[in-house]
């Protein structure tokens, strides 16, 4: 006598939309202690508010604590602890001191999102975008000091605190400028490329200590720093013509990616450079099949 058995039922994998609703805990950071640098505005503020919404207590840093008022209010309004610390990362020792003060204020560190960075600036604080051969060494050294040297100093000082955490995640804010040719922004691009390299090296060095290290590489994001381009129609139109998605990114786009890298949703990811650029850096992506207006940087 034979029996016929039906094939076992194989669970259907959840669609991405379903997974987002059935696994929200993967993106939660309840009780985590986080430091966000450059948190007064733009991407830094968006990252701080997103981490707070996910359950983090936060230390927020900027050059002055007064500049942090709105971000501090937003974080506290979500019921999370918020501490503002002033730090001029262009000064030697400031980044290391910040890491120690942040760990003391929170009783340790689980997450570090290092967002602070700079472009060469004029006396009125507007960004200077100019041909490399007309730039000066002082501008180069200022950018490298803030964007690279302070990054190394901060990571070194944060290491023992992150190593003591069971959920350590370090997110460095680089830029797509560090992955492609970026004329007239060479100092910025070089410093951001170095951040990618540093992040990958630390990811390997610190993996067995339970510290995940990843890098975010945003493209053209609408912030105060990019206002010189976003607010000038000819320049903005020309830049967006090279972005296949055809739009500026928003700080929230980057903040959500930072949350992913800081949370258990990316628990098997380290040493990665995650690009958010609307397709700008895809080989030929910004050149194929999309009409381009004349460059506003070309003399008539």
Which residues participate in catalysis according to the annotation?
188
In a domain, 293, yes or no: no
With bands split at pLDDT 50, 70 and 90, how would you rate the model's confidence at 297?
low
With bands split at pLDDT 50, 70 and 90, how would you rate the model's confidence at 238?
confident
pLDDT given for residue 98 in this prediction: 98
In a domain, 7, yes or no: no
* Overall domain count for the chain: 1
User: How many beta carbons lie within 10 A of that of residue 245, not counting itself?
Assistant: 13
In a domain, 11, yes or no: no
Q: Indicate if the pLDDT at residue 271 is higher than 60.
A: yes
Q: Please check whether residue 296 is in contact with residue 238, taking contact to mean a CB–CB distance below 8 angstroms.
A: yes
In a domain, 288, yes or no: no
Among the ranges 117-126, 164-173, 234-243, which has the highest mean pLDDT value?
Answer: 164-173
In a domain, 299, yes or no: no
Output the CA angle 138-251-201, nearest 5 degrees. Answer: 60
More confident residue, 23 or 117: 117
Give the domain range for residue 57. 28-276
**CA distances (Å), 272 to each of 46, 173, 258, in order?**
21, 12, 12
With bands split at pLDDT 50, 70 and 90, how would you rate the model's confidence at 231?
confident
With bands split at pLDDT 50, 70 and 90, how would you rate the model's confidence at 232?
confident
**170: helix, coil or strand?**
strand
Per-residue pLDDT reduced to its tens digit, 177-230: 999 988 999 999 999 999 999 999 999 999 999 999 999 999 999 998 888 888
In a domain, 92, yes or no: yes
In a domain, 282, yes or no: no
Mean pLDDT in the chain? 89
In 3D space, the residue among 176, 295, 199 whose CA is nearest the CA of residue 245 turns out to be 176
Q: Please check whether residue 178 is in contact with residue 217, taking contact to mean a CB–CB distance below 8 angstroms.
A: yes
In a domain, 181, yes or no: yes
Q: At a CB cut-off of 8 Å and minimum separation 6, what does 75 contact?
A: 48, 49, 52, 58, 60, 81, 82
pLDDT given for residue 163 in this prediction: 98
- CATH (domain of 160): 3.40.50.720
By DSSP bridging, strand 111-114 and strand 82-86 are: unpaired
Which helix (H) or strand (E) element contains residue 111? strand 111-114
**CA distances (Å), 67 to each of 38, 50, 87, 88, 154, in order?**
10, 19, 12, 13, 21
Q: Indicate if the pLDDT at residue 84 is higher than 60.
A: yes
Q: Indicate if the pLDDT at residue 11 is higher than 90.
A: no
């Amino acid at each position: 006598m034979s029996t016929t058995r039906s094939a076992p039922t194989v669970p259907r994998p959840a669609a991405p939309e379903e997974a987002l609703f059935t696994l929200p805990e993967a993106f939660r950071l309840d009780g985590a202690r986080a430091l966000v640098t450059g948190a007064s505005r733009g991407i830094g503020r968006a990252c701080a508010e997103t981490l707070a919404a996910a359950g983090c207590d936060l230390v927020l840093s900027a050059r002055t604590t007064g500049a942090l008022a709105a971000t501090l209010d937003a974080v506290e309004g979500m019921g999370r602890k918020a501490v503002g610390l002033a730090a001029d990362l262009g000064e030697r020792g400031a980044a290391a001191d910040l890491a120690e003060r942040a760990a003391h204020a929170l009783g340790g560190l689980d997450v570090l999102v290092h967002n602070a960075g700079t472009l060469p600036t004029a006396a009125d604080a507007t960004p200077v975008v100019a041909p490399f051969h007309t730039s000066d060494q002082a501008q180069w050294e200022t950018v490298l000091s803030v964007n690279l040297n302070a990054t190394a100093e901060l990571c070194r000082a944060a290491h023992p605190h992150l190593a003591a955490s069971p959920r350590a995640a370090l997110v460095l804010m680089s830029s797509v400028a560090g992955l492609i040719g970026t004329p007239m922004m060479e100092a910025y691009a070089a410093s951001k490329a170095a951040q990618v390299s540093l992040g990958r090296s630390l990811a390997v060095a610190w993996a067995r200590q339970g510290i995940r290290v990843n890098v975010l590489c945003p493209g053209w994001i609408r912030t105060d720093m990019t206002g010189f381009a976003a607010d000038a129609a000819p320049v903005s139109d020309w830049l967006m013509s090279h972005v296949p998605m055809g739009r500026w990114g928003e700080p929230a786009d980057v903040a959500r990616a930072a949350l992913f890298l800081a949370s258990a949703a990316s628990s098997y990811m380290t040493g990665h450079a995650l690009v958010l650029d609307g397709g700008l850096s895809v080989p030929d992506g910004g050149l194929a099949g999309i009409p381009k207006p004349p460059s506003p940087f070309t003399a008539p």
